[in-house]
Structure 1
Amino acid sequence: MSNTHTTPIVVIKPELGLHRWLWPGVFLVIGLLAPLVLPGDKWVRVAALALVYVALASGLNILVGLTGLLDLGFIAFFIVGAYTAAIFTVSTFGPLLAENPAALAWVLPISVVAAIVFAGIAGSIIGYPTLRARGDYLAIMTLAFGEIVRIVSINWTEFTGGAVGIRNIPALNFVDGSMVPPTTTYYIILTVVVILIVALASLIASPVGRAWVAIREDELVAASIGIRTRRYKLLAYVVGASTAGVIGVFFAHMNQFVNPDSFTLEDNFIVLSLVILGGAGTLWGPITGAALWIFFQAVAKDIPLIQAHPEFRTGFLALIVIVLMILRPGGIISKRLELTRARGGTVPPVGELVRPDAEQPVAPGAAVLRLQEVKQVFGGLTALEAVTFDLKHGEVLGLMGPNGAGKSTLLNAISGVTNATSGTIEFFGERTERLESSAVSTRGIARTFQTVRLFWDMTVLENLLVGGHSRLAGFVPKFLSPFPFVRKSERFTVEEAEEVLAFVDAWECRDRRASSLDAYQQRKVEIARALMTRPRVLLLDEPAAGLNESETRDLSTLIARIREHGIDVILIEHDMDLLMGVSDRIVVLDHGVIIADGTPAEIRKNPAVLEAYLGSDAK
């Protein structure tokens, strides 16, 4: 390690102890004791309904809170699950269950699996066309989908029973056909909800959950470090829809009938309000919001004013949400999500980089990145015109030019953020000019941005784990498990992340939220996150912007050390001392055209550069 690399301060990392189990323990104890302390069967049924809405709010939270996708038709998936159970137990297996009620023990799992499949398909159907839609357009499309499903349930009479619905759905009795006490139904639904919450919590604290949050915070950056954003948005729809479908099955058995009146347009807004009320983007917020609201509704029924004007209940919820958004925008519970359960060490690591993967050794001076006649046109503006150069292995290539010369546009084209209008870009012989940025990243090109773009609500360590996403992503169902063996690869990646943080001298920041860092720490973390992709080429866009002289010197040393570790660098920088000092070769752009290509000494004396960039009188 270079002598100029400052040894990180040893900060003992807080271990996850009993406090990690505080909220789960509180909710589980409340859930287990509720039927024992509630006054009568009526309130046990209310508690069971509250659990149904807990599951609904948790499923919608995957879309709204984690991934940032506004869905106003979420109840459609709930409808799919409820009608699946009704059709299977009344129409398909009705005669069998009438003769042998105990057969429900194997019919119910079939209904649950079918509900997951059908709701998942419905989630895919609504999710796929909305992948490119955001904001108002997304909300309108999902709202329309929800209404379509509800209207179909009204009019497809031979299948859904129409407005009458489907009745005589068997209760959750696995022995005989006798009445089931509300307490038994409650505990069955509690078990299902606990399983759903554990599965969702496990998924959130995995590469999947981090990908969702990264998409919510900055979709462009998420794609630039290897996350296939459209795939993960579609997955969010499928997971949320499947959660609603599963709880819909048990809602149907709890009510013993379903009809379109059980699922109104208003329910979509209520569930969304519960997510916001409790705390969107948290695990326990939607649970809290749903439980409080359902019990409030039950209490409000006995209030004379509410009895006279039932519509006041929903109006009161809207008023609470408005007031809460003003006084506590994060919701009742604002505890941030835990996006990993793998823990690192408490002693600063050595601070070395894992060398970029390579199928065969590359000779020093060989071209690793080749641009030929690259042109970029935006409307009537030509940002790049016939740009041609090579990046050779073992060099730091500086990109120089005045503002508007096309430097950042060129990095965007190389990294896949935008596709070049014409020309070719070859990376180790493979053409990449038409690849998406996520595909470019997985092939070994990483980048930083002109303005630091971290995932601000994540910790530094979580930011770096997102950088290692392509090595952690895998078979999604395995991440539903809470068992430690699932996290084995993640623990290795945490160790690598801490090595990279030590390499850039930011190890002591690993447990801090990215938004709490100063400018230089943010820049080092952004570089570290890019290095976590194990790149073969690193694109740095004005990394010294806003840094003081001492920080700029440290940055120069860091760039040199990155090059020493086998990573080739393209550097855009307006600080001439840094650019000239660290670059082996410099390419100068002016109005999208290369006007010079040579060593720093040659560039200093080049008349075209002096005229276009340094000024005609510069020496």
Structure 2
Amino acid sequence: MIVKSSWALPRLTRLAIPAVLALVAVLLPFILPGDRWVRVAALALIYIALASGLNILVGLTGLLDLGFIAFFIVGAYTTAILTVQLFVNQLGFDPDTLWWLFPVSLVGALVLAGIAGCILGYPTLRARGDYLAIMTLAFGEIVRLVSINWIGLTGGSVGIRGIPPFAIGDLELTSPSANYYVVLAMVVVILVALAGVVASPVGRAWVAIREDELVASSMGIRTRRYKLLAYVCGASIAGVTGVFFAHMQQFINPDSFTLEDNFIVLSLVILGGAGTFWGPVVGATLWIFFQAIARDWTIVQEHPEFRTGFLALIVVVLMIVRPGGIVSRKLKLTRSGGDVERPEPRTAPAGLEPDPIEAGAPVLVVDTVGRTFGGLTALGSVSFEVRRGEILGLMGPNGAGKSTLLNVLSGVTKPSRGSITFRGDRIDGLDSDRVSVKGVARTFQTVRLFWQMTVLENLLVGAHERLRGWVPAFALRLPRHRHDEARALTEAGSVLEFAGVWDERTRRASALSYDSQRRVEIARALMTRPKLLLLDEPAAGMNESETKALASLITAIRDSGTDVVLIEHDMDLLMSVSDRIVVLDHGEVIATGTPDEVRRNPAVLEAYLGSDA
């Protein structure tokens, strides 16, 4: 049975809002009353670009940056120094003939701002909260102070004058309308590129990191690499914007880039809606035009600081009455959803490859693994093996070390001693993202989905390793990547059908029932195409009928070719599906055998019932 998905909006409907906004933007200079307001519109476009770049860090990836204007400074001074200080002052070129230098300035600003993003991003990868805010703020101030004090290069507090205007050959684009359209072209390119990147594995990785960095890593996402990429992309956008700003103003000095600007751009992101696509556009547009209108108010003329005070007040009130910002429409993290078709019911999800290892051969060997936390020993010396084609149950009383063992197996926690070998490769020293790539997937004791994503988007995060690529390729929406995404969505449909949650595919994870959440979490783990699946109490909180259905799913996963390690406190479930059971107590293995053997083992009875049993 093939059923065409009805969840995706028609393409024309999806493009309606951008088309209307584009038409308004094109006609705006003819609508606004005079050049002053056209210049305001051009400035609004500059802030739209800046807010969109900062939104990558703050809204998508969840990284607070209070020094973002530093990258804007790098871009503006790059083109000013290159054109005025080098080609005009040093080499004697006529400024009117330097129109061809503009693309060179763009490339230079892109590279230098990207490098600055790396310089800032790398040491802040492990920082969070207040520490991250302080480090980024300090970086921004360092760049601004350098621009003030390096007089020979930047002109110091006097700045750099005589920056050539926009031009094409002998045609100078100096009118407010011409400046507006040039900057509009930049913003359109940035927004189109961003739309492509957001609806790609890169955008999903950023959002996954924001929502749950540990789970993102367990899905094979190299979280530090993608956080650094977010810094580079945001910085590059700000650097390019600085080039356009410098040529539009034809003059820059340190007063053009104040500490206050960092907070203004951040406020615009929050005002419009952090983590949304159109939020920065709406926030920047409303604020810049409001600021221009307020300039004519008597109270603002007497107290100019009130303009920024009004913004602060608006943001505070908005965070109370509408925490998500003005724009609440969630991001679409894939563009190929309309191609999903319901697959035929099947006994195994698509994408699994034949396994060359014969049944019964060891696939996971845990050898004297221990883990201590300070003076506390969570695991003493644990040894066991998982064999090809089996479900291995892990049982033990509370505090026995089961979840710690699962964290060690999945790379979330490094073992203090011992070794773990999976299919012939040592994995005990690997991070969780590399363990996932090796073929080990896991679920968590408490359901941990990406709650703001749809079910299909959650599963596409599981396919991240197969969909990686270059950011420019995603920005350009090359056909190969679109086809890869469509194949991944087809596979996701197969996995959802296999897990019994196909009908939930378009819903947000936060709107699912508890049973569906558990099944979607298992389905997302299966999208990594694991050879070994670690399940941490998947039946916790389920009723009897849901538990029986889960037992059938776990058995089907084993039968489809994925070995399973199962932690479960529901003894009926554990005994009914496990081929063998390993029993832990106080971080040590006290018994190993079939379910019947474990039931009769005196050491197990004593661990659960006490020595008087």
TM-score range, shorter chain: over 0.9
Contact 1:348/1:507, CA 8 A, preserved across alignment: no
**Matched residue type, 2:371:** Q
Where do 5+ consecutive residues of structure 2 fail to align?
A: none
Q: State the one-letter code of the partner of 2:28.
A: A
Q: Distance in 1 between matches of 2:377 and 2:259?
A: 49
Q: How does 1:393-404 map to 2 (within 5 A)?
A: 393-404=388-399
In 2, Cα distance between equivalents of 1:471 and 1:511: 22
Are 1:365 and 2:340 an aligned pair? Answer: no
1:441-480 matches, within 5 Å, as: 441-480=436-475
Residue of structure 1 in register with 2:516 after alignment: 521
Q: Which amino acid aligns with 1:284?
A: W
Partner residue of 2:138?
144
**In structure 2, what is the equivalent of residue 435 of structure 1?**
430
Q: Which residue of 2 aligns with 1:573?
A: 568
| Residue in structure 1 matched with residue 310 of structure 2 by the alignment | 316
Q: 2: CA distance between counterparts of 1:33 and 1:98?
A: 37
User: Hey, what's the Cα distance between the residues in 2 that align with 1:589 and 1:189?
Assistant: 65
Q: Residues 97, 547 of structure 1: CA spacing in aligned structure 2 closer, same or farther, 3 A cutoff?
A: farther
In the TM superposition, 1:558-569 aligns within 5 A as 558-569=553-564
Q: In terms of mean alpha carbon deviation, does 347-356 or 408-417 score higher?
A: 347-356
Report whether the alignment pairs 1:592 with 2:587: yes
Distance 1:484 1:294 in 2: 38
| Contact 1:523/1:543 (8 A) holds in 2 | yes
Residue type matched to 2:539 in 1?
A: A
Equivalent position of 2:94 in the other structure:
99
The residue type paired with residue 437 of structure 1 is S
- Deviation of the 1:97 alpha carbon: 8.6
Residues in 2 aligned to 1:501 and 1:64: alpha-carbon distance in whole angstroms: 32
Match in the other structure for 1:546: 541
Deviation at 1:18, TM superposition (A): 2.7
Distance change >3 Å, CA 542–CA 97, structure 1 → 2: farther
Calculate the TM-score normalised by the size of structure 2.
0.97
Q: What is the match of residue 4 of structure 1? A: none
* Secondary structure of 2:371's aligned partner: strand
Looking at structure 2, the residues matched to 368 and 16 of structure 1 have their Cα atoms a distance apart, in angstroms, of 47
Q: Which moved more, 1:474-483 or 1:560-569?
A: 474-483
Could you say which residue in structure 2 is the equivalent of 1:505? 500
Mapped pair 1:299 → 2:301? no
Question: In the alignment, which of 223, 228, 234 is matched to residue 228 of structure 2?
Answer: 234
Equivalent residue in structure 1 for 2:596, among 575, 578, 601: 601
Q: Is the 8 A contact 1:504 1:524 kept in 2?
A: yes
Moved more, 345-354 or 215-224: 345-354
Q: CA deviation at 1:98?
A: 4.7
- TM-superposed CA distance for 1:14, in Å, is 3.5
Give yes or no for contact 1:46–1:294 (8 Å, CA) kept in 2. yes
Contact 1:12 1:346 in 2 (8 A): no
Alignment of 1:332 with 2:329, yes or no, is no
Q: Does the CA-based 8 Å contact 1:10-1:348 persist in structure 2?
A: no
Does the CA-based 8 Å contact 1:101-1:177 persist in structure 2?
no
Cα displacement (A) at 1:175: 3.1
Q: How do 1:234-313 and structure 2 match up within 5 A?
A: 234-313=228-307
Q: Which residue of 2 aligns with 1:417?
A: 412
One of 14, 22, 28 as aligned partner of 2:16: 22
Asked whether 1:162 is paired with 2:156, we answer yes
Aligned to 1:44: 38
Displacement after TM superposition at 1:92 (Å):
2.3
Q: Is contact 1:399–1:587 with CA below 8 Å preserved after alignment?
A: yes
Equivalent position SS for 1:570 = strand
Which moved further from structure 2: 15-24 or 462-471?
A: 15-24
With over 3 angstroms needed to count, the CA separation of the structure-2 counterparts of 1:19 and 1:178, relative to structure 1, is closer
Query: What corresponds to 2:209 in structure 1?
Result: 215
| 1:199 counterpart = 2:189 | no
Letter in 2 for 1:257: F
AA matched with 1:22? A
In structure 1, C-alpha distance between the alignment counterparts of 2:578 and 2:234, rounded to whole Å:
49
Q: Is 2:353 the counterpart of 1:353?
A: no
Task: Give the TM-score normalised by structure 1.
Answer: 0.96
Is the 8 Å Cα contact of residues 372 and 378 (structure 2) preserved in structure 1? yes
> Distance in 2 between the 1:8 and 1:446 partners?
30
3-state SS in 2 of match to 1:376: strand
**1:25 Cα shift?**
1.7
**Residue 451 of structure 2 aligns to a residue in which SS?**
coil
Distance 1:488 1:101 in 2: 47
Q: Would the aligned equivalents of 1:160 and 1:166 in 2 still touch at CA under 8 Å?
A: yes
Q: Could you say what the CA RMSD is over the residues aligned between the two structures, in angstroms?
A: 1.7
Instruction: Report the Cα offset of residue 237 of structure 1.
Output: 0.1
Residues 532 and 178 (structure 1), Cα distance of their counterparts in 2 relative to 1, 3 Å cut: closer
Distance 1:9 1:576, change over 3 A: farther
Query: Paired residue for 2:605?
Result: 610
Deviation at 1:11, TM superposition (A): 6.8
2:102 corresponds in structure 1 to: 108
User: What are the Cα deviations for residues 458-496 of structure 1, in whole angstroms up to 9, with x where unaligned?
Assistant: 000000000000000122220111455531101000000
AA partner of residue 226 (structure 2): Y
State the SS of the aligned residue for 2:166: coil
Deviations 1:15-68 (A, max 9, x none): 433331132123212211110111111111110000000000000000000000
CA distance in 1, matches of 2:241, 2:261: 15
Q: Which AA in structure 2 matches 1:508?
A: D
In the alignment, the residues of structure 2 paired with residue 46 and residue 269 of structure 1 have an alpha-carbon distance, to the nearest angstrom, of: 20
Contact 2:462 2:528 in 1 (8 A): yes
Q: Distance in 2 between matches of 1:289 and 1:534?
A: 42
Q: Distance in 1 between matches of 2:351 and 2:200?
A: 25
Assess if the C-alpha contact under 8 Å between 2:568 and 2:574 holds in 1: yes
CA distance in 2, matches of 1:454, 1:346: 23
> Hey, what does 2:120 align to over in structure 1?
126
Deviation at 1:412, TM superposition (A): 0.2
Amino acid corresponding to residue 564 of structure 2 in structure 1: V
1:379 to 374, 380, 394: 374
Q: Give the residue type in structure 1 aligned to 2:583.
A: V
Q: Does 1:180 align with 2:174?
A: yes
**Structure 1 counterpart SS, 2:365:** strand
For 2:533, what is the secondary structure of its paired residue?
A: strand
Q: Sort the Cα spacing of 1:355 and 1:184 in 2 relative to 1 into closer, same or farther, 3 A.
A: closer
Partner of 2:384: 389
Query: What are the superposed Cα offsets for residues 508-546 of structure 1, whole Å, 9 maximum, x if unpaired?
Result: 101000000010000000000000000000000000000
Measured in 2, the distance between the counterparts of 1:302 and 1:330 equals 31
SS at match of 1:569: strand
Q: How many angstroms apart in 1 are the aligned matches of 2:176 and 2:477?
A: 30
Q: Please report how far the alpha carbon of residue 302 of structure 1 lies from its aligned counterpart in structure 2 after TM superposition.
A: 0.6
Q: Which amino acid letter does the alignment assign opposite residue 471 of structure 2?
A: V
Q: Determine the structure 1 residue equivalent to 2:26.
A: 32
Q: Helix, strand or coil for the counterpart of 1:589?
A: strand
What is the alpha-carbon distance in structure 2 between the residues aligned to residue 603 and residue 355 of structure 1? 36
Cα pair distance change 1:541/1:97, threshold 3 Å? farther
Q: Is the 8 A contact 2:216 2:223 kept in 1?
A: yes
Distance 1:355 1:572 in 2: 26
- Structure 2 distance, partners of 1:357, 1:144, is 51
Distance (whole Å) between structure 1 residues aligned to residue 607 and residue 429 of structure 2: 32
